[in-house]
Amino acid sequence: MTPDPVRLETIEGGSVWRVLLATPKANILDMEKVGILTSIFERAGHDAGLKAVVLEGEGPHFCFGASVQEHLPDRCAAMLRSFHGLFRRMLDAQVMTLAAVRGQCLGGGLELAVFCHRVFADPGARLGQPEIVLGVFAPVASILLMERMGRGGAEDLLLSGRTLPAEEAYRLGLVDEIAENPGEAALAYARSHLMPRSASSLRWAVRAARQGFASRFLSELAEVERTYLEDLMGTSDALEGLQAFLEKRPPQWRNS
């Protein structure tokens, strides 16, 4: 049997779910994984006793990002709408989410991690949004990183495509805690700070804390997604950057 690409484990009598991206080492976020994650968060929204979801990557890395093949023009619209649907479902679930990051956390993987309420990273973690290197941009991160890091840090990552070591990511607010074992640190946080609380009250608190953000995020995401699909993907350089990556060669930009 083929192993499940996403694995769900229940902890603390079902009060905590541990969700693992389970295709190491890259743990690429393709549409199959996105669909499973979306279903998990749909279920999470209906589990009255659930207090936290911990997202983690199996193996040495959290996630290398979304599937580049699925960014090509014939699949891009379906991929992007599916991926963005995951974030809408995470908002709908109104459950505390904790990301445990080891190794590389890039592109769509970083968008998923920093959408969580808290990010725990190991000292060797590397976090970045390299989409611009491929001639495209990161829709979710274009909104989310401003909230997390402020404009200066967000624009640095989005426009340079550089990758941050864990310590710098911590200083800039991208990471909340550095721990040798981020998965255990996330579970320890849940046990200390969430397990003693009412699951019902936690959900109302999550909703209240993100109410303004959720409204802004959903409105802006629709506009950014439209810009990506209708404008960016009509340029020659977007296609060239993606094809160059897949062909393992330097891109030849036409600046159009």
Q: Note the helical H segments in the chain.
A: 31-44, 73-93, 108-115, 139-149, 151-160, 166-171, 182-189, 199-209, 211-226, 236-246
Q: Identify the CA nearest to 53 among candidates 66, 64, 37, 65.
A: 37
Q: Say if residue 97 is exposed, middle or buried (CB neighbours under 10 Å; 0-12, 13-18, 19+).
A: buried
Q: Cis ω on the peptide bond leading into residue 25 (within 30° of 0)?
A: yes
Q: Distance between alpha carbon 127 and the CA centroid of its chain, in Å?
A: 11
Burial state string for 56-84 with b = 16 or more CB within 10 A and e = fewer than 16: bbbeebbbbbbbbebbbeeebeebbebbb
Measured between alpha carbons, how far is 223 from 24 in angstroms, rounded to an integer?
A: 33
Please report, for residues 133, 148, 210, 243, the alpha-carbon distance to residue 117 in angstroms, rounded to integers and kept in the order given.
28, 10, 10, 35
- Of 131, 155, 177, 184, the active-site residue reads 131
Known catalytic residue: 131? yes
- Catalytic residue selected from 56, 58, 70, 111: 111
- Give 229-255 as a DSSP string: IIIGGGSHHHHHHHHHHHTTS------
SS3 180: coil
Question: Which residues are marked as active site?
Answer: 111, 131
